[in-house]
Chains A and B, each alone.
Chain A
C-alpha cells in the first residue's frame, strides 16, 4: 500500500510532473500509476453506483422495475469487477478486484461524489442514474477506441450495457417529469439537489492529462458539451428545467468524499473485513 499512498500524495499535491516521473521510473515507459488511478475512478464509479442500486433489490415500486434496477446493479458491479481487476493488474502489487473493493478506506476510493449519495426516492435514483448514464455512455464510447487494448475492450463491453441503462433511465425521467404534479415536483427537486455534483464528472486534472499522454484520450470539453445537449434534450421532453447558478462540489476523484461513502463502505466491507484472508 505504501507505493499507492505515495501516488496519492502526488495527486493531492496537484503535481502532474511528480506523478509522471514516478510512473516512468517504476512502471516502465508505457502505462503506469496515472493509468491505475484513472482505471480506479472508472471502477469505483460503477461499484459505488451499482451498490446503491442494489439497495433497491426487493424494494422497487413495481415488480418489473425491481428487476430492472437489480439488472443495472448487476451490470455495474460486473463492470466494476473488470475495471478494478485491470487496475490491480496495472498496479502490479498483487491486489485483485476484491482486495481493491473490500480493503480500501473511503479516502482511497476514487469515485465521483454523485454516485455515493444515498439512493433517496425512486425519482432521485432515476435522475442520478440518468445524469450518470449520459456521462458514462459518452465516456465509454470514447474509451472504447483508446490506445490501451484491455481498457478499450472493457469500455466497449460496458458501453453496450450502459446504452440500455440510459434508455431506461431517460424514459423514466420523462415519465416522472411529465407524469403527475407530484412526480414532476419530486424529480425536479432531485435534479436540483444532484446538479452540484455533475461538474466533477467533467473536471480535467493531472491524471487525465497524464493518461492522455499515454493515448487514453478523452476530450473533457467535448464530452461536457455533448452531455449538456443530451441532458437538455431529455429534460425538455420531461418538462423539467435545468438548474442554473449552481456552485459545483468536487473531491471524490482525490478521495475527498461526502460523509455518506464511509457508511456505505462500512456495510459493504463488513463481512470481508471480519475475516481477512478468507476465501468466499
Chain B
C-alpha cells in the first residue's frame, strides 16, 4: 500500500482526471482507469465486507438448530442464507477489480484478511439473535447506506441491494427483542443480558476513532467512504437510544446523555484496547471462527474436486459428440 515513489507525467494527468470525475459525482466502473491505490483500497474494503458476511453466518448459524419456534427457525435460516448471498455478491463485485474469489478466501483463512470484529464474540442465548439483528444489522445499515453512494459503481450498487435485505433483518431482530421484552421475566432478563454483551462491541464495529484510523483520509477523498467512523457511530447511537427506550431495555452506558445543543446522544469511553485485541486475533472466538471456515473449506475439497472432474468429463463428451 505504499505510495509510488515516482509518478509519471501521464499518470498524474490520469489521476487528475480520475479525481475530477469523482469530484463531479460520477461513478467509477470496472473498465475505467483508476489509481492502483484506489483499486487496492476497494479490494481491501470489499473483501473485508464479503468476509464479514461469511464469518457472520457462524454466530447466528449457531442458533438455527435451537430456534424456539418454526417461524423463528425459518427466518433465521433465511437470514443466514441472505448473508451467504451478500458474501457471494460482494466477492463477485471484488472480482471486477481483478482478484479472484479463491485468492480472497485464502487470505481469510490464513489470517491476512480482516472481517468485522463483532463476529468474534460468541452467541450465548436466543436473545442474541434479536440483538444481533437490531444492533449489528442496524450498524451495518448505517455504514452501508453511506457506501451505497460510494464512487465505485459495482460496490455502490451491491450496497443498494444489500441494504434492502439488511433493513428487513434489522426489523426482524428488533421484533425478536420486542417480543422478548413483552415476554416472561426470564425472557426480559435474557434480552437485557444480551444487550449488555453486544452494545459496546457493536459501537466498535464502526472502527477506531477518526484520529486513529489509518485509512480514512484517502478513502474520504476518493469517495470510497463518505462519512468518518465517528460520524457514523454517532448516527447509530442516536438512532438506537430511542429504540431501546421503546422496548424498555437499558443500554449499558452510565454516561449516555442527550445534548440538546448538538442533538446527539453523548456516550462513554469505548474500550479501544479490547477492540485492538479482537482485530489482532485475540477476541473470544477469532480462532473458532477461522477454524470453522477452514474445516468447511477442507471438508469440501473433495466435493469441489469432484464437481470440477465431472464438469471436465462433460466438456470432453460434448466435444467428442
Chain A residues within CB distance 8 Å of chain B: 47, 51, 54-55, 57-67, 70-71, 73-74, 77-78, 80-81, 84, 97-98, 101-102, 121-123, 174-176, 178-180, 182-183, 186, 267-268, 270-272, 275, 277-280
Contacts and interface: CB of A to CB of B under 8 A. Distances in A.
Nearest to B176: A280
A179 to B, nearest CB: 3
A121 B87 CA distance: 24
B73 A54 contact: yes
A167 to B, nearest CB: 16
Interface in B50-86: 54, 57-58, 61, 64-74, 77-78, 80-81, 84-85
B65 A60 contact: no
Given A61-B300, A122-B300, A278 B184 contact: yes
Contact of B88 (A63, A70, A98, A277): A63
B255 interface: no
Contacts of B81: 57, 66-67, 70-71, 74
B84 A66 contact: yes
A101 B70 CA distance: 8
A87 to B, nearest CB: 13
Interface stretch (B9-17, B158-166, B307-315): B307-315
B295 A59 contact: yes
Given A74-B81, A97-B70, A58 B65 contact: no
B184 A64 contact: no
B80 A179 contact: no
B7 interface: no
A101 B8 CA distance: 69
B183 A278 contact: yes
Contacts of B80: 57-58, 70
A121 B69 CA distance: 27
Given A175-B306, A182-B306, A278-B183, A102 B69 contact: yes
Given A58-B57, A60-B296, A182 B305 contact: yes
Contacts of B179: 279-280
B70 A58 contact: no
10 contacts: A62-B303, A63-B88, A66-B84, A67-B81, A84-B70, A98-B71, A175-B306, A176-B303, A179-B306, A267-B65
B72 A280 contact: yes
Given A74-B78, A176-B306, A275 B184 contact: yes
B198 interface: no
A179 B310 contact: yes
Given A59-B61, A63-B87, A80-B70, 6 more contacts: A54-B77, A61-B300, A175-B307, A179-B305, A268-B65, A278-B186
Contact of A278 (B73, B84, B187): B187
Nearest to A69: B81
B304 interface: yes
B58 A61 contact: no
Interface residues of B, number: 48
A122 B302 CA distance: 10
B292 interface: yes
Most buried by A among B73, B91, B300, B310: B73
A275 B65 contact: no
Nearest to B59: A58
Contacts of A270: 66
A17 to B, nearest CB: 35
B67 A58 contact: no
Contacts of A57: 57, 61, 64, 77, 80-81
B125 to A, nearest CB: 8
A271 B71 CA distance: 14
B126 interface: yes
B299 interface: yes
Contact of A279 (B85, B183, B292): B183
Contacts of A51: 65
Contacts of B74: 74, 77-78, 81
A174 B317 CA distance: 15
A81 B74 CA distance: 10
Interface string B19-34: 0000000000000000
Given A58-B58, A60-B296, A280-B179, A77 B70 contact: yes
A59 B296 contact: yes
A62 B259 CA distance: 49
